[in-house]
Amino acid sequence: MRKYQLAVAVREPEYMKRLADYVRDSPLFEQWQVIAFTNAGACMQYVKQGYRIDLLAAQPELLNELKGRDEAFAAIPTAALVMKLGESKEVLELHQYQPLPLLLQRLSDLHAMSIGHPGQIDAASELAAGIKIISVYSATGGTGKTALALHLAHAASTHRYRTFYLNLERWNTSEAWLGLPQNGDAPNAPGVREGLSEFLYGLKAQPDQSVKWLLEHRNRHSLLKGDYLAPCTNMEDRLTLGAEDALGLVDVIARSRQYDLIVIDLDDGLEELHAALFEQSNQVLWVMNDDGSVRDKQSMKLRYGEQRWGERFRSCSRKFVFVNNRATTAAKPSLSERNDIVCAPVQLPEVPEWRGAAAVTLLSSPLFRAAADKLFKFILQEGGE
């Protein structure tokens, strides 16, 4: 099996050592060979000697030096390793200091997107590279998935990510969390706000106007500090929602250029829609708890996904992160027998007042809010291994 050559150019030798050690001791060693450079001159000399680079990840100042002095680097897919998004002029930026499994997964995704488009990312890939997508999923209902998705959206907003919360559950209860009246039962019911049903209709009838429609009808929640759309006014629209439609919704939100992050709240099904959104996402958080039946259903869903989609699902599984909710102890639970999937080091605490409550309030638990913030940092910011 041919190994791809990943060139990493950063000025810190210790960082290079940690990255190389991780790749050598991980399954990625069969796919990637890491070539390390701490200055631009050594990297240019490597290329001039005729050696191949399949993907280059480098700090912005080193990238600028390489591309400014050697035209050969214009044909190499690149990613800028930054401390803060927006520091470089590259299409794709990645936080240099984030969990190494996540960093390598994103670099692998970039390489897969660049195949057949040497030196550039095609339009769809550029769009995906410019916005982060986190999907929140659970193998069964009642695990606190919507609570986590909303708290993650809030955490992202507090860290200055322009965030869109997209609820694609069959039975959307997010408005109860947001303290809003439920949308009417029928399209013409009093108080009904245009939402996903109208968005889907416009996407099919007038696709060129879809971004304009979104910007005119999106809702802003002052507590969430993010945007969202009202649920479907016609439930049949959600029940018949297909993968192509779901990807179309995400595409319009991304093309609006108004957001840095989309948090997608999925239901507990496992259909083509889910697989397509898993592929589109940067990370997929699988929410579960210590209940044996929940773990069993998770294992069955993982097996089913591999049986139905094979390598396609196995590729998606590298983006999965298991998140334990309603933790009652500080000990790390055994979330799954799958040791090839990342387990978040942050556990979400039990919130007794939410159990069986007729009404819940977003951000009413400081402990849950703090845990969601730590989880967000683990996924998208400084994180930790």
Domain boundaries 131-380, corresponding CATH code: 3.40.50.300
Q: Any idea which architecture 4-122 has in CATH? A: 3-Layer(aba) Sandwich (3.40)
Summarize the confidence of residues 272-285 as an average pLDDT: 94
Q: Is the confidence at residue 187, as pLDDT, over 90?
A: no
* Residue 68 CB-density burial (10 A; 0-12 exposed, 13-18 middle, 19+ buried): exposed
Contact 282, 154 (CB under 8 A): no
- The residues that bridge with 221 in the sheet, in sequence order, are 226
Summarize the confidence of residues 230-241 as an average pLDDT: 88
For the record, the structure tokens of 246 come out as: 């779901």
Residues 152-175 pLDDT 10s: 999 999 998 989 999 999 888 888
pLDDT the model gives residue 174: 84
Summarize the confidence of residues 237-242 as an average pLDDT: 90
**pLDDT confidence of 181, banded at 50, 70, 90?**
low
Assess whether the region 4-122 and the region 131-380 belong to the same CATH fold. yes
Least trusted range by pLDDT, from 20-24, 154-158, 294-298, 325-329: 325-329
Three-state DSSP state, 4: strand
Mean pLDDT of the residues in the chain: 83
Q: Is the confidence at residue 192, as pLDDT, over 70?
A: no
Q: Is the confidence at residue 385, as pLDDT, over 70?
A: no
pLDDT the model gives residue 361: 82
The more confident residue out of 210 and 333 is: 210
Least trusted range by pLDDT, from 41-45, 129-133, 290-294: 129-133
The rounded percent of the chain whose pLDDT value lies above 70 is 84
Summarize the confidence of residues 211-216 as an average pLDDT: 87
Q: Is the confidence at residue 123, as pLDDT, over 60?
A: no
> What whole-number distance in Å separates Cα of residue 320 and Cα of residue 317?
5
pLDDT the model gives residue 339: 61
* Residue 89 CB-density burial (10 A; 0-12 exposed, 13-18 middle, 19+ buried): exposed
Q: Is the confidence at residue 143, as pLDDT, over 70?
A: yes
> What whole-number distance in Å separates Cα of residue 285 and Cα of residue 127?
22
Q: Is the confidence at residue 120, as pLDDT, over 60?
A: no
Give the residue extent of every domain in the chain: 4-122, 131-380
For the record, the structure tokens of 315 come out as: 């590729």
- The residues that bridge with 322 in the sheet, in sequence order, are 286, 343
Q: Provide the pairing of β-strand 219-221 with 226-228.
A: antiparallel
pTM of the predicted structure, to 2 decimals:
0.65
For the record, the structure tokens of 178 come out as: 């947001």
Residues 342-373 pLDDT 10s: 899 999 999 888 877 667 888 899 999 999 99
Q: Please give the torsion angle defined by the CA atoms of residues 313, 103, 384 and 351, in that order, rounded to the nearest 10 degrees.
A: -40
For residue 310, the tally of other CB atoms under 10 A from its CB is: 10
User: What are the DSSP calls for 245-289, one per residue?
Assistant: HHHHHHHHHHHTT--SEEEEE--S--SHHHHHHHHH-SEEEEEE-
Summarize the confidence of residues 1-22 as an average pLDDT: 86
